[in-house]
Structure 1
Amino acid sequence: MIKNKLYLLGLFLLALSSCTSSGKQQKTEVASSAEKIILETDIGNDVDDALALDMLYKYLDAGDIDLLGIMINKEGTYPAEYTDIMNTWYGHPQIPIGIIHDGADCENDATNYAKAVCLIQDENSKPTFKRSLKGGYDQLPEAPALYRKLLAQQPDSSVTIISVGFSTNLSRLLDTPADEYSSLTGKELVAKKVKLLCTMAGCFNNPELYEYNVVKDIPAAKKVFTEWPTTLVTSPFEVGIAINYPATSIENDFQWAPMHPMVEAYKSYQKMPYDRPTWDLTSVLYSVEGPSYFTVSPAGKISVTDKGATEFTPDATGNRYYLTVDAAQAENIKQHFVKLVSKQPAHFTK
């Protein structure tokens, strides 16, 4: 099992005890020292979200994390349905899903691979992939309410949120009032329960590059980077674009699964073969395995301009950081991604 080396920038060390998962379609036995993770994703826009989600199931099956929930900030029912397919396929249908209404307009930005996978049928014109949830996917709880429910149940300073999409849900969470789950406001609840927010957002080596996750909801990004009350580490555009997941892995490393919802998503997103930057995977890697794969900036502050550029100001009293990689680190991370993502789950049977 992978040793967790999350030194929250030198402030603490968490050691994992050994644990295993066994049995087909089982609920993973989670070690008490496993990282408590919530994923915030615009799944369906870029296929790196599907790869990042796939990584999380591998960590979950190894006992490295407890995946508390998956929050979606892309509009429509297909992102939630695709997430349900992935939860079901990996044997974790119990993982709750939060959705968004009145979010960023992004449906026409790229091929919606979530929709493509949901529409795949077998030779009998029935859905190829199983679902677990009953009823309409648009009736799932909205993400801010589900965040409050999940966070209120966790120990203090124990949750890591991985945000690899827009900041809309996180901004709305900060503005939530007290409710049946907690007497705290959203910002107070986050300060009490969350230890780290790790985002895939921004760009720091090109002031004229306006990164997608930021520009789709600039007011929300401004709010989160300025007001989020805990440590925030971001993996910017220049990191993920330096590490490309190889098409050869998609084509050759998944023979153990004739129909895989992540592989089918990858194949539907662009014409094969193509290599794709691993933006979102880098945030997952940092959150679960720590900073050893990366170079971490000094402490500072991050601001978002009116156009959506991100600016970093060093400040020893700040709690904002960003990641960088050199060529050797990028190659090491790529090889690690391929090994982890293509690994066959122990309980999987065709």
Structure 2
Amino acid sequence: MTAEAKVPVRVILDTDMGSDCDDAGAMAVLHALADQGEVEILACIYSSEKNQFGPGCIAAINQYYGRGEIPIGAAKGDEVGDPRNDFLEAIASDAQRYGHRVRTCDDVPDQVAVYRRALASAPDRSVTVISIGHTKGLLALLHSGPCDFSPANGHGLVALKVKEWVVMGGAFPVEERPGWNFGANGSARYSRALVAEWPGAVVFSGYEVGSDIITGPCLQGTPDDNPVKTAYRLWDNALENGRASWDQTAVLYAVRGTGEDWELCRGRCEVEDDGRTTWQVDECGPHAYLVKRRPAESLTLTIGDLMARPPERRGVSSR
């Protein structure tokens, strides 16, 4: 008797692509896991409002892995985000090299519309939201009203459709100063409400989890038209120097669960007004944070292998 096939994890990825190169690394891990049948990527959301080229970079990465059809949504304001532009414009504007069609935020719908459409069409309690960027867009989703895709308001839609929210943010159990995703670039005013209002399970991959998992050189042997390789080369030459794998850890857990990689410490997280996280231990709490079960060197090899894996769908027409 053969084992029953495992249903791929349905994922929406929310990223502030451009603030760091680990967002590109996280997308490489996600696509490699999709190539192995472990995950289905429902949509990608660009959560920064300070650089218009994020969707183009996301589209180039999706195209490289043969999934150019994945819906992309983007934040449309001018309040939250990081204008840093080491690699976004260079990748987004080079359609000849990367073969994608999207360039800027103007080329894609609003993030809330894409979220609602992806969630509405998914089975109940089946979607994992992975956020490795800003918090404003997810709070806007919670506060959204009924639309053509669903009669439910945002809270109701998330409660009905989302199985788990996996977020790279905070530091645990004690965060001494506000971190990047919850506290910087205008996000702090949204982070506290988002965590407090989220109607379901939340797992945090804190700053401490990925800070000593250094990847980047693993991409040196990949093709020159790999946009993830380009992102690491242009971001402080992380292709040679390496960079912490904060966002990759969130993706790895979201798709594979705890396994041999992680333990979960359960409790309740609250976010202060400045974006700093505080933690209360509670075995029955709605929140958890990741703790490494394997040494950083071992997780570096796992994540690096996934980042460097050749796309299995390369050459598939998706334009």
Aligned to 1:45: 19
Q: CA deviation at 1:139?
A: 4.1
1:17 aligns with 2:13: no
Whether the aligned pair in 2 keeps the contact of 1:88 and 1:132 (CA below 8 Å) is no
SS in 1 for 2:31: helix
TM-score (norm 1): 0.83
Which aligned pairs between 1:173-252 and structure 2 lie closer than 5 A?
A: 173-216=141-184, 217-247=187-217, 249-251=218-220
Matched, 1:87 2:75: no
What SS does structure 2 have at the residue aligned with 1:226? Answer: helix
> Contact 1:203/1:209 (CA < 8 Å) preserved in 2?
no
The aligned counterpart of 2:98 is: 129
Distance 1:151 1:347 in 2: 25
Q: Contact between 1:44 and 1:115, CA under 8 Å: does it hold in 2?
A: no
> In the superposition, relative to structure 1, how do residues 225 and 131 fare at CA in structure 2: closer, same or farther (>3 Å)?
same
User: Deviation of residue 128 (structure 1)?
Assistant: 2.2
User: When the two structures are superposed, what TM-score results if normalisation uses the length of structure 2?
Assistant: 0.90
| Residue in structure 2 matched with residue 98 of structure 1 by the alignment | 73
CA distance in 2, matches of 1:88, 1:318: 40
CA separation in 1, counterparts of 2:93 and 2:69?
23
Query: In 2 relative to 1, CA 137–165 (structure 1 residues): closer, same or farther, beyond 3 Å?
Result: closer
Which consecutive aligned stretches of 4+ in structure 1 deviate over 4 angstroms post-superposition?
none
| Equivalent of 1:346 in 307, 312, 315 | 312
Q: How does 1:25-64 map to 2 (within 5 A)?
A: 33-64=7-38
1:102–1:93 Cα change, 3 Å: same
Question: What is the aligned partner in structure 2 of residue 74 from structure 1?
Answer: 48
- Letter of the 1:73 counterpart: S
- Residue of structure 1 equivalent to 2:135: 167
Counterpart of 1:24?
none
Q: Which residue pairs with 1:324 in the alignment?
A: 291
How much does 1:263 deviate? 0.2
CA distance in 2: counterparts of 1:67 and 1:234, whole angstroms: 20
2:257 matches 1:287: no
Show CA shifts across 1:286-305 (max 9, x none).
Answer: 000111201211x2111011
Equivalent pair of 1:160/1:198 in contact (CA under 8 Å): yes
Shift of 1:206: 4.4
Secondary structure of the structure 2 residue equivalent to 1:225 = helix
Corresponding position of 2:82: 107
Q: Given residue 280 of structure 1, which amino acid in structure 2 is its aligned partner? A: D
**Unmatched tracts of structure 2, length 5 or more:** none
Task: Report the residue type matching 1:117 in the other structure.
Answer: I
**How many residues are matched?**
308
Letter in 1 for 2:34: L
Shift of 1:57: 1.1
Match of 2:303 among 311, 331, 337: 337
2:258 maps to a residue whose letter is P
> Aligned pair 1:150/2:118, yes or no?
yes
Name the SS of the counterpart of 2:144 in structure 1: coil
Aligned residue in 2 for 1:271: 237
Partner deviation per Cα, 1:143-191 (whole Å, 9 max, x = no partner): 1111111111111100000000011111000000112111111001100
Aligned-residue identity in percent: 29
Q: Cα distance 1:146–1:344, how it changes in 2: closer, same or farther (>3 A)?
A: same
In the alignment, is residue 310 of structure 1 matched against residue 277 of structure 2?
A: yes
Question: Matched residues in 2 for 1:106 and 1:312: separation?
Answer: 26
Residues 16 and 226 (structure 1 numbering): CA distance in 2 closer, same or farther, change over 3 Å?
A: farther
CA positional deviation for 1:104: 4.1
CA deviations 1:291-337 (Å, max 9, x no partner) are: 1201211x2111011222101111233210011226x4322211101
Larger mean CA deviation between 315-324 and 160-169 belongs to 315-324
Give the number of the structure with larger relative contact order, counting CA–CA contacts within 8 Å between residues 6 or more apart: 2
Aligned partners of 2:119 and 2:157 also within 8 Å: yes
Instruction: Report Cα offsets for 1:223-268 as digits up to 9, x if no partner.
Output: 1211101100010001110211142x232x31xx232111011000
Quickly say closer, same or farther: Cα 1:325–1:194, change in 2 above 3 A. Answer: same
